[in-house]
Amino acid sequence: MSLENRTAVVTGAGRGIGKAIAEKLASQGATVVCVSRTAENCGAVAEGIKAAGGKARALAVDVSSASEVAEASKTLIEEFKTIDILVNNAGITRDTLLMRMSEDDWHSVLQTNLSSCFYWLKGLVQPMVRQRWGRVVNISSVSGLIGLPGQVNYSAAKAGMIGLTKAAAKELASRNITVNAVAPGFIRTDMTASLSEGDAAREIMSRIPLKRFGEAADIAAMVGFLCGDEASYITGKVFTIDGGMVM
């Protein structure tokens, strides 16, 4: 599963699942660009990787901004010539019932979770096409597969990521670029911290056959596999990692 001499961009790498993915890819030998909104968070993750003997660089980018992502992509291609692996993981929730959801709740979730994937693909795909090797992994959600109440915006964005994954997989297959999605269930991170106790936790647990939240490392393991040469015949797929919740 060596990713030696590969370069990777992981968005939302400042915390949670993205941090675990960045550390996993670095442990496999990739040079990892850790992207997050705040320089402090992605900087700390990149420093941690370097302290452990890996190769990393931090870049603070607001992934919901087309112009910031275009600028960042240009900088990275100038610096590395090509980015071999793109993991679109940055995401937010703005949960509320449909009738209370504001236009801003809708647009900010769509921009951050879905449009960002398009911006990064557009920014980084050209050198991948030229070298005829690439890996793209989009972190969707079970919410995009089954829909969850209070998440009309988030479910739409995460379902959109699956459509984007399948279309891009078909478009890029002839260039030896695979595009896959991973759909996590409930994973223990800041995003789900408020759901890990009390009635909410009990209700969620009753729907998870394995009776526990997953860990960020569970998602990172799948992403690490999909980015390697062993996964070269897998494209356009959605991998659900949810303790058996969606069957």
CA distance 164 to 110: 13
Cβ partners under 8 Å of residue 246, min gap 6 = 142, 145, 146, 183, 185, 240
Candidate segments 1-9, 11-19, 49-57, 199-207, binder of ligand NDP by CB under 6 A? 11-19
Two structure tokens written together for 124: 């980084």
Q: How far is the CB of 3 from ligand NDP (least distance, A)?
A: 21
User: Given the complex with ligand NDP, which of 190 and 197 has the nearer CB atom?
Assistant: 190
- Kindly tell me which residue out of 3, 10, 33, 90 binds ligand NDP, with binding defined by CB under 6 A: 90
223 binds ligand NDP (CB under 6 A): no
| Cβ-contact 111, 156 below 8 angstroms | no
| CB of 75 or CB of 131, closer to ligand NDP | 75
CB neighbour list of residue 44: distance below 8 Å, 6 or more residues apart: 14
Binding characters for ligand NDP, 183-212, by CB under 6 A (x = yes): -x-xx-xxxx--------------------
Find the part of the chain contacting ligand NDP (CB under 6 A) among 24-32, 35-43, 49-57, 121-129: 35-43
The single-letter DSSP state of residue 32 is E
Instruction: Report, as residue numbers or ranges, the catalytic residues.
Output: 154
Measured from the CB atom, is 110 or 129 closer to ligand NDP? 110
Residue 89 is a binding residue for ligand NDP (CB under 6 A): yes
Looking at the Cβ atoms of 77 and 92, the one nearer to ligand NDP is 92
Using CB under 6 A as the binding criterion, the count of chain residues that bind ligand NDP stands at 30
User: 6 vs 15, which CB is nearer to ligand NDP?
Assistant: 15
| Rounded Cα gap, residues 227 and 243, in angstroms | 22
Q: Alpha-carbon distance 32 to 12, whole Å?
A: 12
**Rg over CA atoms, the chain:** 17
98-157: which residues touch ligand NDP (CB under 6 A)? 112-113, 139, 141
Tell me how far apart the alpha carbons of residues 43 and 134 are, in angstroms, rounded to a whole number.
25
Binding segment for ligand NDP (CB under 6 A), chosen from 25-33, 56-64, 163-171, 202-210, is: 56-64
d(CA 231, CA 169): 14
Give how far the C-alpha of residue 204 lies from the chain's centroid of Cα atoms, to the nearest Å.
Answer: 23
**Nearest distance, CB of residue 45 and ligand NDP, angstroms:** 8
Q: What span, in angstroms and rounded, lies between the C-alpha atoms of 173 and 168? A: 8
Q: C-beta of 68: minimal distance to ligand NDP in Å?
A: 8
Instruction: Report the alpha-carbon distance of residue 109 to residue 115 in Å, rounded.
Output: 9
Catalog residues that contact ligand NDP under the rule CB under 6 A: 11-12, 14-18, 36-38, 41, 61-64, 89-92, 112-113, 139, 141, 184, 186-187, 189-192
